[in-house]
Structure 1
Amino acid sequence: MSTADVVRAASRHKQATAELTNAAFIRAAGAWKKVNPGSIVSSWQILSTSVIAALMVAQSRSVDSADTTLDLAFNEQNIDPIDARIRKEAIVGTMPATGATLDAALAGVAYHALDHIGRGYSTNEAMQTGMVELSKLVQYGIADAGRASSQIRIGSARQKVGYVRMASAGCCARCSVLAGQYYAWNTGFLRHPHCRCVHIPARESMADTFATDPYEAFDALSAAEQDRIYTKAGAEAIRNGADMNQVINSRRGMTTSGRFTSEGVTKRGYFRISSDAGRAGKRRLSVDEILRRSGQDKTRFVSLLTEYGYFV
């Protein structure tokens, strides 16, 4: 057995979770489409029974799949678990991140749809928002079941064990820079709707073995995919050597106009202490604004990226 076997097992778990989620959502979406618009709550209460059953089966299988991956990872790294496998009943039938029961979470979809109608949405619009909410609940409910089981087993190991985040090829920009990073066992798993990243349990001394290079993942994409995932301006900056973390993180603090960003501008922020513009007290231009100001002049584009702290 090797670390490659562990990565392959994690990939299989990720694929299994995706398939379980897709099948469960097809069942959930089919039931939601049958809801009587004139009696949303009561009709959904009946229809959601089969959805809850399907979700519980998917959650159970997700926990089993996660356990298989952890068994391989523990064995490969000589990690001695206390074997504190969580009782499935503690997870299955709940939304693991919040502790809410599945029936309560799904009932909320109907009540929220009614609330939207009360606020002026058309019935069709309200039902569409319900479908979106249902999609998120299904995805979170299944993926978080496996994650919760993994976190408990990782935290109960006799040695100090954390996890490395494994992301998919073509994942979102935020996940790409988190991929391969090591986290303590009790660090929350950041995710977004349809996030399929998974834990790979690892001792800190072994974390680099499972690390993935976000730049290699970026280079493996076509230019069109790079532009789609990282934005046209962001992808162009990365292609020209800008630091991926600076480029991606800068989008968190962008102003409504898109011209500036507040990322790194505090007294100890990277922009403020390490760039010419920051030390001069200037507002930090966003990558999008830098691209706009540069026009077709690549030399000016790189010069402004450097001035505003996008090279590390």
Structure 2
Amino acid sequence: MNPSPEAVVHQEARQRLTVATALATHRIWNRLDEDNLYQSWLGLVGDVLAIVMSGQLAAAQMTMPWLNELLGAEDDERPDADRIIPEAFTGVDGSGRPLGGVLMAPIWTALRLVTAGRPIVQALLAGRSLLDAIAQTAVADIGRAADSAAMTARRSVTGYIRVVEAGACSRCIVLAGNEYQTDKAFLRHPRCKCGMEPVTREHRPRPASPEDLVGQMSETQKRKTFGEAGAKAINDGADLGQLVNARRGMSGASVLGGRAITTTEGTVRGEFRRQEFRRLQQAGAIPRSQSIRGFRPTVARLMPEEIYRTADNRQHAVQLLRQNGYIA
């Protein structure tokens, strides 16, 4: 059985959004002054940041309509309860780093190649390729983070199924159809196109298995995905799981070196800042008469996947999502 039509439409819409976002950044990159790369990028990176953040916001805004269409409204008496706040997810990459800093990497790549004596055309292509990966991954990661947060906040959802398309890489194909609890980090790699579909007592999707996906591939596609020897081994009956190291090059979006992943994004403004200000006022740490203007929280803001990793249970995870400004 294939994923539900709603899950396929959702995944394809997200993929179109990631590609459109990357193409928009390409147009900005192509305006670089070849004789003054660094300074011209400083004048353009703000436009690129706005484009990527707009793509992230659009990706997060897709979540609630999709879930409501797929599963229906969960609580008619409280239709606005535990809804995600799309704006809370924007401005960072999957590891919680501010996008403004991450978007400097492409120009450093280009400058490094120019300094090494490479042709300017080659340097610019390398920088644009990295920019493409950053843009697509940032939008896709935030979209999946929003999906995950919304599913965690929804009491009827017990987990999610990984939805993989036939043209995916070998690492993703061997994970196709796997079911995970909602607090399990979504394994992905740069430019990963996979999505997720929620599991409830009534809604139990059965996406294509790795064997189903491989069965849909031509011999040319198999060789491209698994290599010449790998394709032959598969045709000879080799086990896919043994053939492919599924975790090589893949990680949970917010997991870096086992340390807690936080972000300062959203502490200057946004729902997290307002909630922290109210909390401190109620605790008596800030006078009731003081304005929120100029207030900046001193605590770090947890990324969604760090919340799932550290939460004691689902109720705790929802509480932390709310405290960190991801759901209302």
TM-score of the aligned structures, taking structure 2 as reference length: 0.66
- Do the aligned partners of residues 251 and 241 (structure 1) sit closer, same or farther apart at CA in structure 2, a change above 3 Å counting? farther
Structure 1 residue identity aligned to 2:215: D
Gaps (5+ residues) in structure 2?
A: 249-328
Query: SS at the partner of 1:200?
Result: strand
Choose which of 129, 134, 137 in structure 2 pairs with 1:132: 129
Kindly state the Cα deviation for residue 83 of structure 1 after the two structures are TM-superposed: 4.2
Is residue 227 from structure 1 mapped to residue 202 from structure 2 by the alignment?
Answer: no
Matches for 1:100-179 after TM superposition, within 5 Å = 100-159=97-156, 161-179=158-176
Aligned-pair Cα RMSD in Å: 2.9
Gaps (5+ residues) in structure 1?
A: 253-312
Structure 2 residue identity aligned to 1:90: A
* Structure with more helix by fraction: 1
- Could you say which structure has the greater relative contact order, defined with CA pairs below 8 angstroms and 6 or more residues apart? 2
> Hey, what does 2:90 align to over in structure 1?
92
> Hey, what does 2:9 align to over in structure 1?
12
Kindly state the Cα deviation for residue 153 of structure 1 after the two structures are TM-superposed: 1.4
- Is the Cα contact below 8 Å between 2:61 and 2:86 reproduced in 1? no
Matches for 1:184-195 after TM superposition, within 5 Å = 184-195=181-192
Kindly state the Cα deviation for residue 133 of structure 1 after the two structures are TM-superposed: 0.9
- Do the aligned partners of residues 82 and 244 (structure 1) sit closer, same or farther apart at CA in structure 2, a change above 3 Å counting? farther
Kindly state the Cα deviation for residue 60 of structure 1 after the two structures are TM-superposed: 1.9
Query: SS at the partner of 2:187?
Result: coil
> Hey, what does 2:25 align to over in structure 1?
28
Kindly state the Cα deviation for residue 53 of structure 1 after the two structures are TM-superposed: 2.5
Query: What is the percent sequence identity of the aligned residues?
Result: 29
Q: Deviations over 1:135-190 (max 9, x none)?
A: 11111111112111111112223256221100012211111110100112222222
Count how many residue pairs are aligned between Structure 1 and Structure 2: 246
Structure 2 residue identity aligned to 1:248: V
> Hey, what does 2:212 align to over in structure 1?
216
**In structure 1, how many angstroms separate the alpha carbons of the residues matched to 2:136 and 2:148?**
18
**In structure 2, how many angstroms separate the alpha carbons of the residues matched to 1:10 and 1:195?**
16
Structure 2 residue identity aligned to 1:199: M
Q: Could you tell which deviates more after superposition, 143-152 or 67-76?
A: 67-76
Kindly state the Cα deviation for residue 244 of structure 1 after the two structures are TM-superposed: 1.4
> Hey, what does 2:177 align to over in structure 1?
180
Structure 1 residue identity aligned to 2:220: A
The structure whose Rg is larger is: 1
- Do the aligned partners of residues 86 and 45 (structure 1) sit closer, same or farther apart at CA in structure 2, a change above 3 Å counting? farther
Query: SS at the partner of 1:180?
Result: coil
Kindly state the Cα deviation for residue 8 of structure 1 after the two structures are TM-superposed: 1.2
**In structure 1, how many angstroms separate the alpha carbons of the residues matched to 2:110 and 2:82?**
40
